[in-house]
Structure 1
């Protein structure tokens, strides 16, 4: 069976940028699904929802850690035997899989058998990824674990479920409801939600362009000697498509990352999509300098642009940034535009007066 891209340095270059991109895409899909089902992530259930996202990212990072960036010296001539179980590796596996059991019980309300089955599947998947060199992308396995780590991972899931089951009962001041209830998602989004959308946009743009460059090198479309020029051109090209043109075509005037957390750009005084010229001016004022500085390797200077934009958002009650004040736009939720309700929200339906149901017959007591 042949390895992807020959199993050499080209495959490693694809894996180094492709795996983080998959994590960013998975985060975007997860947040989009949670906001569509439950609306705003508020209170303790909202914090557990974000904790589930961080736990999943930590589990994915553990499955591929440490991710080598070069093939040099990666595979020994004589294969190394499976190492003995050490305390550090056991505690790491226990700590990574412990949140799986806690969240399965506290956030997703899963029973013990379902949780153990899920934990076993996750532990076997992680073991397979680490033992096969990220499913064959690497020429050999760079992280050989002791076989007992799989059992320790499952034990960590079981321990987490038991803690989530009994600790809230014994802790009188702890929260008693940890699963979410649907909340109408209208009004002004909080700062955490905006930051999540910006980070998703940055991750999709950065790792997406890096993956395009890596695939171009792997298939011989461009020469490795022109890697820097191709990288800069790809970064700027994707930024023009996804940060400049795409928001102008969408009704919510939002980028992909911000749309994943259900954000929209509206007019200052009306719940309607912002005018396209205002959105274009905001993009040129806020996103364009950041994109150019990052593409040229001057990422630290882009923090000045971010600081200038957020200086007003931190002091205003509506959280409006400087670019929004200048361009006449406001960041609101998507439901403000279309009036949509969360999928899990209980909707009221009026009784059918034209075809009333007959009264229920109850047995007469003897």
Structure 2
């Protein structure tokens, strides 16, 4: 029987897998929007963009931490079966560590609101208060009722300290950068054409996001199947492994063969593409198939089987040539005769926010030549 609130261990298993899946999907979509609107993520503004994603992930982690995986022993004993506590005992949420954490987790939010997103003080305080209240609600309700009881403590003073943290971060971004020797650097991005060879870090991030989506997607699908009684608990590990391999087959093999950029979903969001070695054209499908069989499928299969260090070794062998070559070609790229480029290299697209020059339109009648000797000829 499905119980949406406090549904026991099966509902907790769904939460443990779904929360990281939502975080990974959110990061992938945010990076996709960044690359689509502004092109290459670079410089100080690019570092602030990555910091904003980490800050959002930090707020989510604070709201759900420690996200217990088991229900047994989580809830306190019923009244009367446990010794009574002293009435003057301080609230658990008012410990110095909890108060400091509640303030510090929103300090980057205030800094980024000012330096990256150019928000005013009022908007920053509203944003900080909303995030602090939302995190407190998640902690106080046991992940919005998924858990049978609250597993993390909170209180209104903790919410207030979150607003204070956002205020301090905004003040630091407002007053400290002008005092630096070089002056304040521009924190908001400017659109640039994304035509350079992708850095190994960008390609590695795409692979990590793809693997995270497949791993947590398979775990979430398996947990939902257990929640609805479609899979027995003893079959959970087998079903998750099969789901992970199925996701790698569909999104790592079938989807790239159907797309023009020949990329997996996360790599497509980061505006990457696979092209021929000598010309900016989509790579032949047989080359893409060979590359997937040499790189993506073995790594995913090793992770699914629990051989994580072997999977890391395979990835490092591929990256060993990418970090030393000017064209950033990995070992599998050299074998298959493909190169990783940006999507703009293939289709000539430009970022949405790029300023394009348009010549001014001629005024009405400006192209009319006056008759010599007429009154308008002397004007």
Of 158-167 and 341-350, more deviation after overlay is shown by 341-350
Which residue number corresponds to residue 361 of structure 1? Answer: none
Q: Equivalents in 2 of 1:107, 1:59: separation in Å?
A: 17
Q: CA RMSD in A?
A: 1.8
Cα pair 1:38 1:181 within 8 Å, conserved: yes
Structure 1 spans left out of the alignment, 5+ residues: 359-366
Cα pair 1:5 1:218 within 8 Å, conserved: no
Cα pair 2:103 2:164 within 8 Å, conserved: yes
Offset of residue 186 of structure 1? 1.1
- Which of 1 and 2 has greater Rg? 2
For residue 266 of structure 1, give the secondary structure of its aligned residue in structure 2.
strand
Cα pair 2:44 2:185 within 8 Å, conserved: no
Q: Equivalents in 1 of 2:74, 2:191: separation in Å?
A: 49
Which residue number corresponds to residue 112 of structure 1? Answer: 121
Deviations 1:37-76 (Å, cap 9, x if unpaired)? 1110111101110010111111111110001000101111
Q: Equivalents in 2 of 1:305, 1:176: separation in Å?
A: 40
Offset of residue 173 of structure 1? 2.3
Which residue number corresponds to residue 158 of structure 2? Answer: 149
2:361 is equivalent to residue 337 of structure 1: no
Offset of residue 281 of structure 1? 0.3
Which residue number corresponds to residue 148 of structure 2? Answer: 139
TM-score by length of 1: 0.94
For residue 341 of structure 2, give the secondary structure of its aligned residue in structure 1.
strand
For residue 18 of structure 1, give the secondary structure of its aligned residue in structure 2.
helix
Which residue number corresponds to residue 258 of structure 2? Answer: 249
Cα pair 1:191 1:319 within 8 Å, conserved: yes
Counterparts of 1:208-247 in structure 2, within 5 Å, are: 208-247=217-256
Offset of residue 187 of structure 1? 2.4
Cα pair 1:44 1:175 within 8 Å, conserved: no
Of 313-322 and 157-166, more deviation after overlay is shown by 313-322
Cα pair 2:93 2:99 within 8 Å, conserved: no
Q: Equivalents in 2 of 1:6, 1:149: separation in Å?
A: 25
Q: Equivalents in 2 of 1:51, 1:57: separation in Å?
A: 10
For residue 134 of structure 1, give the secondary structure of its aligned residue in structure 2.
helix
Shift in alpha-carbon separation, 1:5–1:141, aligned structure 2, 3 A: closer
2:163 is equivalent to residue 159 of structure 1: no
Deviations 1:272-313 (Å, cap 9, x if unpaired)? 111110000000001111111111111111112111101101
Of 328-337 and 276-285, more deviation after overlay is shown by 328-337
Which residue number corresponds to residue 353 of structure 1? Answer: 362
For residue 55 of structure 2, give the secondary structure of its aligned residue in structure 1.
helix
Of 207-216 and 225-234, more deviation after overlay is shown by 225-234
Counterparts of 1:177-326 in structure 2, within 5 Å, are: 177-326=186-335
Q: Equivalents in 2 of 1:28, 1:130: separation in Å?
A: 25
Cα pair 2:211 2:300 within 8 Å, conserved: no
Offset of residue 352 of structure 1? 2.0
Q: Equivalents in 2 of 1:203, 1:160: separation in Å?
A: 31
For residue 229 of structure 1, give the secondary structure of its aligned residue in structure 2.
helix
Cα pair 1:3 1:136 within 8 Å, conserved: no
Deviations 1:320-351 (Å, cap 9, x if unpaired)? 10000100111111111111111111111122
For residue 264 of structure 1, give the secondary structure of its aligned residue in structure 2.
strand
Q: Equivalents in 2 of 1:357, 1:195: separation in Å?
A: 56
2:337 is equivalent to residue 328 of structure 1: yes
Shift in alpha-carbon separation, 1:84–1:262, aligned structure 2, 3 A: closer
Cα pair 2:136 2:155 within 8 Å, conserved: no
Which residue number corresponds to residue 100 of structure 1? Answer: 109
Q: Equivalents in 2 of 1:95, 1:15: separation in Å?
A: 26
For residue 193 of structure 1, give the secondary structure of its aligned residue in structure 2.
helix
Offset of residue 10 of structure 1? 0.5
Shift in alpha-carbon separation, 1:357–1:120, aligned structure 2, 3 A: farther
Which residue number corresponds to residue 27 of structure 2? Answer: 27
Q: Equivalents in 1 of 2:36, 2:105: separation in Å?
A: 28
Cα pair 1:264 1:333 within 8 Å, conserved: yes
Offset of residue 146 of structure 1? 3.2
